[in-house]
Homo-oligomer: A and B are copies of this chain.
Amino acid sequence: MAASIPPATVGRLVTYLRVVDEFAAVGVERVSSDELGERAGTSAFQVRKDLATCGRFGTRGSGYTVATLERELRRVLGLTRSWPVAIVGMGRIGQALADYPNFGRQDFVLSGAFDVDPAKVGMRAGSLLIRHLDDLPDVVREHGIEMAFLTVPADAAQDAAKALVGAGVRGLLNFAPAVIHVPAGVFVESVDFVGGLQRLAFALGGRPASTVGIDG
């Protein structure tokens, strides 16, 4: 576990890995912190500081070797193995995920699809057979699933999360516009597009603090 790296830094490491992959794809062999920062939308200083968190990368004045940087970022991020992932909730978003062409190369492998709707159970979604949520513990055990997309309606999200945690899944990527609660040792990332729109609304038209007190 690398809990000593703050979440904001982890988020930037993920971005650096994406940028490094883009450089590698076009045959670039060395990059500077300036180039990395420019492409990642941050400063060269921040890049050097973040990468120092991961170990002693690079040589002053000659930048970073792309191949080494990619390998070390993948190691720090836990991307040196393949992670089986389940989809819970086969509505439009779940279906779109099942058809998604490429989950970060071979890092993530869709390994189960679940719903409670009898009309969906038994149907196929992409390469997956949709199974009933009751089968979750068996499939999780069989495939060693540790992560899941949670793509159920908001009012079903907490119960579905409970079922996943009960089956041993420790990482949830929650697409439902709901705040879900999990025990210690289980991690939730939110893919919250309504929240994203709301943050944009704030950026474009939000108003600063009221100058008068309210409510007492």
Contacts and interface: CB of A to CB of B under 8 A. Distances in A.
A206 interface: yes
- This chain's copy number in the assembly: 2
Given A76-B209, A201-B79, A194 B103 contact: yes
A92 B151 CA distance: 15
Nearest to A25: B155
Contact of A18 (B15, B72, B179, B211): B179
Contacts of A213: 55-56
A22 B149 CA distance: 23
A104 interface: yes
25 contacts: A1-B205, A2-B207, A2-B209, A5-B202, A10-B199, A11-B199, A14-B195, A19-B179, A41-B179, A54-B210, A55-B211, A56-B215, A59-B216, A64-B215, A92-B96, A92-B99, A93-B96, A104-B177, A108-B194, A147-B200, A147-B201, A171-B200, A173-B193, A189-B199, A190-B196
Interface of A: 1-5, 7, 10-11, 13-15, 17-19, 39-41, 53-59, 62, 64-65, 68-69, 72, 75-79, 81, 83, 85, 92-93, 95-97, 99-100, 103-104, 107-108, 146-147, 149, 170-173, 175, 177-179, 181, 187, 189-216
A141 to B, nearest CB: 17
Contacts of A79: 198, 201
B202 A108 contact: no
Nearest to A63: B215
A96 B191 CA distance: 14
Contacts of A173: 193, 196-197, 200
A14 B77 contact: no
